Amino acid sequence: MLVVMQEGAEEAQTQNVINRLVSMGFIVHRSSGMLHTVLGGVGPVGDVDPIEFEVMPGVKECHRIVSPYKLASRHFKPAGTRIQIGDVEIGGDQVVVMAGPCSVESRDQIGQVAEAVAASGAKVLRGGAFKPRSSPYSFQGMGEDGLKLLREAADRNKLLLVSEVMDQTQIPLLAAYVDILQVGARNMQNYNLLRELGALRKPVLLKRGISATIEELLLSAEYILSGGNYDVILCERGIRTFENSTRNTMDISAIPVVKALSHLPIVADPSHATGRRDKVLPMARAAVAAGADGLLVEVHHDPDHALSDGAQSLYPSQFAELMNQLRIIAPAVGRSV
C-alpha cells in the first residue's frame, strides 16, 4: 500500500495514517525527502481498499501495490496453464474451437449442428440447456432433457461438451453431463456460485462480465482457484461501451493483457460480442491473430428458425470457411488449428 500525502500535509495527519496502517498490520516505510511524503506499507492485503485511506485528512492518493489476486497471476505460474481434457489441450499449441447452437432445441437440431462443426474441426460442442434471458417471456431452455441430447450429440461426434450453469444448485446436474461448466457473463460476480465451483474438480469456463475490468475477471477466477480448482478458462465476450453498431464492443486487447497478467488460458466469443453473424468471421480471425487460446462460436444448421440468438449464429458453411481462414492465420502466432 502506497499512501501519498498532500503537499503541505500536517505531521499529525501523517501520523494518523501511519497509526492506521500499523493497526491494520502493515509495516510502514516513510519517505519524506520528496515534495509529498510517501508512506509504503508492507503487509496483509486483499482486504484493504485504497479509498479507505484516500478519504483521510491530508491524503492525496493511495495505490495498492500488490495485486489483489495471487493464484491467478502470471507470477504464480510463469509457464502458463494447459488444461488437458481427454485428448484436447486448452492453452497449448492448438487453438481450440468450441462451436454449436445457442440453445439445444431438439435431437435433430443438435445432431445436425454437432456433426457439421465436428466435420469442420471443432473439438468441443457448445449449447445451452438453461438460458438466462433478459425477458421473463422468452424461451428459457430445455433443462435436463437438453443436457441429455447435448451429451449424446457430443459423444456421437467425439466432441467434448461445454454448457452453462446458472446457479450453484445446478452444479451437480451439469457436472453429470458436461466436460466444462460455463459461467455466463451475468454470473461473473455470483460469488456463491464461484465458491462452489472451486470445490468441483471439472474445468470451468468463466466469461467476463460486460462491464467487468480485467482485474475483476481475474479476481473472480481467484474465487475458483482458491477453492482448489485450478482448471479455469477465461473468456472475452465483449464489453459495454457507447458504441452500439455491434451488441457489445469486443475487447480484443484483453487477450494480450490477460496473457501478460495471468497464466490462465483465454478464449474469445465473437458471437455474443457482436450479436451479428456478419461480424463473427472478422472478429474470430482477429481474436486468433491476437493470441487467443480458443474460440466459442455459435453455429446453427437453420439460424432463421433458431429459438434464440439466430441472428448471431453462423451457417455451417460459414463456419467451415472460418476454420479455413484460421488455419492460415494461426501459424503467425506459432499455433495450429
| Positions in 114-143 near its own copies (CB under 8 A) | 132-139
* 245 lies in the binding site for its own copies (CB under 8 A): yes
Question: Which positions from 147 to 166 touch its own copies by CB under 8 A, shown as an x/- string?
Answer: -------------------x
* d(C-alpha 153, C-alpha 104), whole Å: 10
* 240 lies in the binding site for its own copies (CB under 8 A): yes
* 172 lies in the binding site for its own copies (CB under 8 A): no
Measured from the CB of residue 287, what is the shortest distance to its own copies in angstroms? 7
Q: How many residues does the chain have?
A: 337
* 173 lies in the binding site for its own copies (CB under 8 A): no
* 331 lies in the binding site for its own copies (CB under 8 A): yes
Helix orientation angle between 144-156 and 107-120, rounded to the nearest 10 degrees: 40
Q: Looking at 90, 174, 180, 287, which residue binds its own copies (CB under 8 A)?
A: 287
Does residue 282 come out as left (phi exceeding 0), alpha (psi in the -120 to 50 range) or beta? alpha
Using the structure block, give the residue that is written with the C-alpha cell 495514517: 17
In the complex with its own copies, which residue's Cβ is closer, 68 or 121? 68
* 329 lies in the binding site for its own copies (CB under 8 A): yes
Burial of 300 (0-12, 13-18, 19+ CB in 10 A): buried
Q: Calculate Rg over the CA atoms of the chain.
A: 23
Measured from the CB of residue 332, what is the shortest distance to its own copies in angstroms? 4
Query: How many CB atoms neighbour CB 86 within 10 A?
Result: 11
Taken in order 50, 55, 57, 58, is the CA torsion positive or negative? positive
Q: Looking at 18, 171, 289, 320, which residue binds its own copies (CB under 8 A)?
A: 289
Find the part of the chain contacting its own copies (CB under 8 A) among 84-92, 99-107, 144-152, 329-337: 329-337
